[in-house]
Amino acid sequence: MNDILPFLKSMISVAGLSGYEAPIADLIHKQWTPLADSVSRSRLGSIHALKSGSVSIASPRPSVLISAHMDSIGLMVSRIADSFLHVTNIGGVDPRVLPGTPVTVHASKTGEELYGVIVMPPATLLPEGKGSGVIGLPYLLIDMGLTPAEVAKRVEIGDRISFATEPVEMSGGLLSGHSLDNRASVAALTVCLEELQNKKHDWDIFAVASIQEETTALGAITSAFQLRPTIAIALDTTYGSGPGASGYETFPLGKGLTLGIGPNNHPFLYKRMKEVAARVEIPVKDEPMPEYSLTDADYMQLTAEGIPTLLVSIPLRYMHTPVEMVALKDIQRAGRLLAEFTASLEADFMNKIVWD
Amino acid sequence: MLSIGQPQIKLLEKLCNALSVSGDEGEVRRIVLEEVKPYADEVKVDALGSVLVRKRAERSRSALRILLDAHMDEIGFMIVNDDGDGLYQFKPVGGIDERHLPGKQVIVGRDHTVGVIGAKPIHLTTSSELEHTLSADTLRIDLGEGGASIGDRATFATKFRRVGPSILSKAIDDRIGIAILIELLKHAPKNIELCLSFSVQEEVGLRGAKVAAHYFEPDLAIAVDSTPARDLPHYEGAENFTYNTRLGFGPAIYMANSSTLDDPRLVRFLAETAEKHKIKYQFRQPGGGGTNAGAIQQARTGVPVVSVSVPHRYTHSPVSIARVEDWKNTLNLLHEALQDVTPSLVKSRQ
């Protein structure tokens, strides 16, 4: 099995904000090309890789779509004041993790990637009551160390800003960096495609790196419609237990994956996934999600006439901060589990779905 | 005029990337010792760990003994408890705004092991929690599998960068002062006895400079530090009257802060020297804050002092920003002043 770490590190070293996925998409497209029978882009930029199933199965072959979103949260320039940038958020950003964070400003006027840092202005320069305690996103600034003239030549309102915190390999087989939500899952899906090179599978498999999950799930909605799979799996990250996060929603790093239980998760897919996990000895835990999953799964399920869907997740600490953390072992496990699951899908699997 | 070229930038980079939290300044001390030894007449490490350097005057009898001080320590953290599972409780060393902690990488211990300070996912955070800062007590340094010991020092992991007209680093305060002192020693004027204290423990109470000044017994002293520039635009466009200092306006000469009323003779002399040599300078807005001058002035029978600082934005945060031009002008103002100074300066009445 190839070591997935170098690819994952390269994925969290490039930008790919929601609505601006081109840099990360190019990287994934290249990596998946030798692993699939065809790789294409949707009209909106999601990547569709097809690994065809067994020719002995009557056409149209059943298909499984596995979606891992490739976009990440970030910021956007909302106002330029002297040499400083005001920003707004793309996706769910907690402003409390931002002061002192290094960022890359994607300067549209010159195409440059500019280094910058998110800063808190002194209280005396903010409106009454806004300068103490938590400094809200509208009041934070980005300083690039440039003069007003240098900034005016390069940066425009609407320019994207991504985190620039560098990936760091930690002891214990852990990796920390920004955008591991959800590049960790893209890495796992890559492992899955690698595993399938030597496996026989009846079903067609669509590996999808979807766009804009962090904002509107636009990629999942449109790719599920276009590819119209028989069943769909969303692969995403879930809350890792750690400092400040210890509730039922959290799961330890390095101890295995989670399977969703709740209205977005088809009980029969859950059952099969659990059986396969037990057979290949991959630890999985039940992740209760009583109303919704907040992932691509929620949208794929409601596509066209409806699609049986399941969410598989990799625990990740400090989600949506620039220092997210994940266990490489769990990524390998997710890749292997999905490969085993898809290879297990027999031609008449759908006929075996019984409700009561 | 002395210039800032690649050798000076490289040295500052090495100094800035060192981990040298108050009370554990060994990394910077080793760099300083290596740099000063070829140029000094006397080098010693004192009881607290400061590096004290002397360069004698050509004609020592009539020469002024001048102390220049810069501090080797930086703000940071100490590991105070091992919670298990690679997680460590830590306490700030020096004045750190805890709002800078979550979401940051840190380096820990002699090996600079990288750790992270995370935060609870926003998805699990209630709207009322979002209105409160994350207190340092609730945060942990996460080292993966572990490996730190209680007492290890840590600081922000940010690496030195040169961008456009600027330099960006976690420790411009006060490695830029250290770099200036080393450069001045390399170009030491022959008319004075130049004493340098590369002092420890400034960030926790001006401790190193206090005993260094006692040792040297100088005729006058200059604290060379880095001071906040709060020269950002007002959110609503109002004029910023409280900038303290401004980037690009040259060395900031102090007149008054919480601990010191800078000696008016020295303030005037520095300003006149800058005018004479056409070096850009600014007066720091009088107000709070403090430098080692506050400790040095109290040594023995008293020492006339003044502080000169290179301005930087975002004090004690993961990244401060300063301008190379201000660094160069500070170096040259001090260099010219040391050459021009005469004993009459401190014999004259205030």
Distance from CA of A156 to the nearest CA of B (A): 18
8 Å CB contact of A84 and B143: no
Quick one: what percent of chain A has pLDDT higher than 70?
A: 99
pLDDT in tens, A103-151: 999 999 999 999 999 999 999 999 999 999 999 999 999 999 999 999 9
pLDDT band for A5, please (50, 70, 90 cuts): very high
Is the pLDDT at A59 greater than 90? The verdict is no
Question: What are chain B's domains?
Answer: 6-74+170-347 (3.40.630.10), 76-156 (2.40.30.40)
Task: Tell me the average pLDDT across B123-144.
Answer: 96
The pairing of strands B153-156 and A168-170 is unpaired
**Those residues with Cβ within 8 angstroms of residue A322's Cβ, 6 or more apart along the chain or in another chain:** A97, A101, A102, A163, A165, A177, A178, B103, B104
**Least confident window among A234-248, B57-71, B134-148:** B57-71
Quick one: what percent of chain B has pLDDT higher than 90?
A: 97
Distance from CA of B288 to the nearest CA of A (A): 14
CA distance A240 to B307: 49
Among A249, A321, A324, A329, most B C-beta atoms within 10 A, so best to mutate, is: A321
Is the pLDDT at A1 greater than 70? The verdict is no
> Taking a contact as any Cβ pair under 8 Å apart, which residues of chain A between 98 and 157 contact chain B?
98-102, 114-115, 117, 119-122, 124-127, 130, 133-135, 139, 141, 143-147, 150
ipTM over 0.85: yes
Q: Where in chain A is the domain with CATH 2.40.30.40?
A: 74-163
Quick one: what percent of chain A has pLDDT higher than 90?
A: 96
CA distance B283 to B275: 13
**Among residues B202, B272, B275, B336, which one is catalytic?**
B202
**Closest Cα partner for A326 from A258, A253, A246?**
A253
Does A171 lie at the interface with B, CB-CB under 8 angstroms? yes
For the sheet with B252-253, list strands across it.
Answer: B42-45, B51-55, B193-199, B65-71, B220-228, B305-312, B252-253, B282-283
CA distance A273 to A284: 9
Task: Tell me the average pLDDT across B18-25.
Answer: 98
**Closest Cα partner for A68 from A235, A274, A268?**
A235
- Helices B324-340 & B172-186, crossing angle to 10 degrees? 40
* Other Cβ atoms closer than 10 A to B149: 11
Distance from CA of B126 to the nearest CA of A (A): 11
Three state DSSP letters for chain A:
CCCCHHHHHHHCCCCCECCECHHHHHHHHHHHHHHCCEEEECCCCCEEEEECCCCCCCCCCCEEEEEEECCECEEEEEEEECCEEEEEEECCCCHHHCCCCEEEEECCCCCCEEEEEEECCCHHHCCCCCCCCCCCHHHCEEECCCCHHHHHHHCCCCCEEEECCCCEEECCCEEEECCHHHHHHHHHHHHHHHHHCCCCCCCEEEEEEECCCCCCCHHHHHHHHHHCCCEEEEEEEEEECECCECCCCCECCCCCEEEEECCCCCHHHHHHHHHHHHHCCCCEEEEECCCCCCCCHHHHCCCCCCCCEEEEEEEEECCCCCCEEEEHHHHHHHHHHHHHHHHHCCCCHHHHCCCC
Task: Tell me the average pLDDT across B138-145.
Answer: 97
8 Å CB contact of A127 and B235: yes
Is the pLDDT at B75 greater than 50? The verdict is yes
Residue B315 token pair = 């004090």
pLDDT in tens, B169-206: 999 999 999 999 999 999 999 999 999 999 999 999 99
Give chain A positions within 8 Å (CB) of B118: 242-244, 317-318, 321, 323-325
Task: Tell me the average pLDDT across A83-112.
Answer: 97
Burial profile A203-233: b = 16 or more Cβ within 10 angstroms, e = fewer: bbbbbbbbbbbbbebbbbbbbbebbbbbbbb
* DSSP per residue, B300-350: TT---EEEEEEEEBSTTSS-EEEEHHHHHHHHHHHHHHHHH--THHHHS--
CA distance B119 to B31: 35
Give chain B positions within 8 Å (CB) of A322: 103-104
8 Å CB contact of A318 and B164: no
Give chain B positions within 8 Å (CB) of A81: 233
8 Å CB contact between A311 and A259: yes
**Those residues with Cβ within 8 angstroms of residue A302's Cβ, 6 or more apart along the chain or in another chain:** none
Task: Tell me, yes or no, if B202 is annotated catalytic.
Answer: yes
Task: Tell me the average pLDDT across A34-49.
Answer: 98
Please tell me which of the candidates A84, A133, A150 has its beta carbon nearest to residue B233.
A84
- pLDDT at position B62, please? 82
- pLDDT at position B350, please? 61
In chain B, which residue's Cα lies nearest the Cα of A98? Answer: B103
pLDDT in tens, A322-341: 999 999 999 999 999 999 99
Unique residue bearing structure tokens 């609407």: A158
CA distance A220 to A207: 12
The pairing of strands B193-199 and B65-71 is parallel
Q: Is B19 left (phi over 0), alpha (psi -120 to 50) or beta?
A: beta
| Confidence (pTM) | 0.95
β-pair partners for B167: B162, B322
How many DSSP H helices and E strands does chain B contain?
8, 17
**Those residues with Cβ within 8 angstroms of residue A104's Cβ, 6 or more apart along the chain or in another chain:** A15, A113, A114, A115, A116, A161, A162, A163, A164
Does A80 lie at the interface with B, CB-CB under 8 angstroms? no
Give chain A positions within 8 Å (CB) of B116: 168, 176, 318, 323, 325
Task: Tell me the average pLDDT across B83-96.
Answer: 96
Peptide bond into A182 cis (omega under 30): yes
Is the pLDDT at B102 greater than 60? The verdict is yes
In chain B, % helix, strand, coil (3-state, to 5) comes to 30, 25, 45
CATH number of A74-163: 2.40.30.40
CATH number of A5-72+178-352: 3.40.630.10
Q: Where in chain A is the domain with CATH 3.40.630.10?
A: 5-72+178-352
Q: How far is CA B38 from the centre of its chain?
A: 24
Task: Tell me the average pLDDT across A94-102.
Answer: 98
